[in-house]
């Protein structure tokens, strides 16, 4: 069974940096998409960083609100997905969740981590 465990969250002052890690039990190169979501208090879960494999190439995607500040990456050898967050703002406070997707023909499986709390103080 695929399991994801996030780590690296915590309390940080505005302008600081954090690197979140998502350890996946399995070979992450067997997945088709790797994503980070965040859920702010009272808000729906929001996709904000992703890697999608297309034609054997990985491409990244970010919303404008975090473009230039956040970087998603992965290390296949370590079966880990990372999110480097720089110049953090109070608005970035949320629970951050890792998600991986595996597509095999008609079947799509989504796997979620439990999330890690990021709190950014002014």
Instruction: State the DSSP string of 43-83.
Output: S--EEEEEEEEETTEEEEE--TTTTTTEEEEEEGGGTEEEE
**pLDDT for res 26:** 75
pLDDT band at 103 (very low <50, low <70, confident <90, very high): confident
**pLDDT for res 67:** 82
**pLDDT for res 85:** 97
pLDDT band at 53 (very low <50, low <70, confident <90, very high): confident
Query: What would the pLDDT profile of 2-30 be if each residue is shown by its tens digit?
Result: 999 999 999 999 999 999 999 999 777 78
What residues pair up with 110 in beta bridges, in sequence order?
101
- Indicate if the pLDDT at residue 38 is higher than 80: yes
Average pLDDT over residues 28-48: 90
**pLDDT for res 30:** 83
Q: 3-state class of 85 per DSSP?
A: strand
Residue from 84, 66, 67 nearest 75 by CA = 84
Indicate the average pLDDT of the chain: 93
Which residue would you say has higher pLDDT here, 4 or 65? 4
pLDDT band at 95 (very low <50, low <70, confident <90, very high): very high
């Amino acid at each position: 069974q695929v399991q994801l465990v996030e780590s690296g969250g915590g309390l940080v002052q505005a302008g600081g940096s954090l690197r979140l890690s998502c350890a996946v039990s399995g070979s992450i190169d067997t997945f088709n998409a790797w994503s980070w979501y965040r859920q702010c208090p009272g808000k729906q879960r929001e996709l904000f960083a992703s890697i999608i494999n297309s034609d054997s190439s990985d491409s990244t995607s970010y919303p404008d609100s975090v473009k230039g500040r956040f970087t998603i990456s992965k290390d296949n050898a370590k079966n880990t997905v990372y999110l480097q967050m720089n110049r953090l703002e109070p608005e970035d406070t949320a629970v951050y969740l890792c998600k991986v997707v595996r597509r095999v023909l008609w079947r799509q499986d989504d796997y979620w981590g439990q999330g890690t709390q990021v709190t950014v103080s002014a």
